[in-house]
Amino acid sequence: MFIIRFRTFFFWLTGLILVASVASIFIFGLPLSIDFTGGSLVEVSYTNPRPDLATITKDLAPLNLGPVSLLDSGANNVTLRSRTLTPVEHAEVVTALSEQGTAPLTELQFNSIGPSLGSELATKSLYALLAVVAFIVLYIAWAFRSVPKPVPGWGYGIVVVVMLAIDLIVPTGFYAALCHYTGAQVDSLFVVAILALLGYCVNDVIVIFDRIRENLTKNDHARVQEEFTTTVGRSIDETMTRSINTALTVALALLALIFLGPAATKDFALVMLVGVVIGTFSSVCRSAPLLIPLADYFAKKEHEEKSGSKKSGKSKK
């Protein structure tokens, strides 16, 4: 019941986090990788300690590649992103990275994606996100269609959609700041992380909502008069341990991936970790408590409708 008593505080805290995340997105922006814009990616690993990034940038300048992103992707690794390179330009880039052969290196990967393919991938990613959200809303509406009052089944769906929006905006805002300070870019792995978070966050919310439905049904069958606020608080208490333990298990796996995994999946794991933390906070401290003002709204609306029907009945007499 602690969370229910201080739900106003958690609502305000959510608002502050949401404002900070939206501000981060608008201020820093979300730079798209070649996965969506098209271009070439070259990753090399130096046999000896790699040259300074400023020196490498100076060596690449005569090639006239246009805007180039040069990132440290490991102890001795460097990743270069640029416009689409021709075979000749690719060879010149590798030579420049090796400082004309004086810095031995091994090319780990070279990928090129055309602008049309990148645009198609971006469109399909957006459709995938919209499809997942649509299926989630339909599932919630169907699963809670027979839930006892005071909140109708579609009201639970509204709460889930609002929570999902917040759960996606916050890690996206975090990633916008990460891109600004580290030079990371929005790639296909980021989209995979967002899709995974959608499923994780919905699962956590449904567990609590399902317990609320069970307790409401039990009260209804036993004809127990219990306030909706008390039922929600009791349901949160009964599922909180499960939610926290699940989040800790996932967080430990993601921390291992961040510190022990390859550099290519580090940003993915960071986004997932932020999303898991926010999703757990959302399901416990925001989603279920948000049902209470929604229940008050429906109760007030029902009362007004009854009052209106009584007045109309008297006027007819």
What is the per-residue pLDDT across 137-146, written as a single tens digit (0 to 9) for each?
Answer: 777 778 777 7
**Same domain, yes or no: 222 and 276:** yes
Q: What is the pLDDT averaged over residues 122-128?
A: 77
Q: Cα–Cα distance between 102 and 106 in angstroms, integer? A: 13
**Residue 247 falls inside a structural domain:** yes
3-state secondary structure the chain: CHHHHCHHHHHHHHHHHHHHHHHHHHHHCCCECHHHHCEEEEEEEECCCCCCHHHHHHHHHHHCCCCCEEEECCCCEEEEEECCCCHHHHHHHHHHHCCCCCCCEEEEEEEEECHHHHHHHHHHHHHHHHHHHHHHHHHHHHHCCCCCCCCCHHHHHHHHHHHHHHHHHHHHHHHHHHHHHHCCCECHHHHHHHHHHHHHHHHHHHHHHHHHHHHHHHHHHHCCCCCHHHHHHHHHHHHHHHHHHHHHHHHHHHHHHHHHCCHHHHHHHHHHHHHHHHHHHHHHHHHHHHHHHHHHHHHHHHHHHHHHHHHHHHHHC
Which residues, listed in sequence order, are joined to residue 78 by a DSSP beta bridge?
44, 72
**Residue 175 falls inside a structural domain:** yes
**Same domain, yes or no: 109 and 194:** no
**Residue 228 falls inside a structural domain:** yes
**Same domain, yes or no: 228 and 251:** yes
**Same domain, yes or no: 273 and 141:** yes
Q: What is the pLDDT averaged over residues 110-116?
A: 74
**Does the pLDDT value for residue 115 go beyond 70?**
no
Give the residue numbers spanning the domain of 138: 2-32+117-300
Residue that terminates a domain, selected from 98, 113, 128: 113
**Same domain, yes or no: 139 and 284:** yes
pLDDT at 24: 94
CATH value at residue 126:
1.20.1640.10
Span of 31-40, 52-61, 76-85, 186-195 with lowest mean pLDDT = 31-40
**Same domain, yes or no: 62 and 178:** no
Q: How many domains does the chain have?
A: 2
**Residue 107 falls inside a structural domain:** yes
Q: Hey, what amino acid is at 314?
A: K
**Residue 312 falls inside a structural domain:** no
Residue that terminates a domain, selected from 113, 140, 156: 113
**Residue 309 falls inside a structural domain:** no
pTM: 0.79
Residues 206, 140: contact at Cβ < 8 Å? yes
**Same domain, yes or no: 158 and 287:** yes
Q: Hey, what amino acid is at 18?
A: L
Q: Cα–Cα distance between 212 and 203 in angstroms, integer? A: 14
**Same domain, yes or no: 154 and 60:** no
**Residue 316 falls inside a structural domain:** no
**Same domain, yes or no: 133 and 204:** yes
Span of 7-21, 142-156, 224-238, 300-314 with lowest mean pLDDT = 300-314
Q: What is the pLDDT averaged over residues 1-8?
A: 80
Residues 165, 286: contact at Cβ < 8 Å? no
**Same domain, yes or no: 99 and 128:** no
* Max avg pLDDT among 55-59, 114-118, 250-254, 296-300: 250-254
**Same domain, yes or no: 79 and 160:** no
Q: Sheet of 39-46: strands edge to edge?
A: 69-72, 77-82, 39-46, 105-113
Q: Cα–Cα distance between 30 and 204 in angstroms, integer? A: 28
Of residues 85 and 118, the one with the higher pLDDT is 85
**Residue 15 falls inside a structural domain:** yes
**Does the pLDDT value for residue 175 go beyond 80?**
yes
**Same domain, yes or no: 247 and 229:** yes
pLDDT at 251: 92
CATH value at residue 72:
3.30.70.3400
* Residue 298, C-beta contacts closer than 8 angstroms, at least 6 positions apart: 149, 150, 151, 152, 155
Residue that terminates a domain, selected from 86, 113, 140: 113
pLDDT at 171: 93
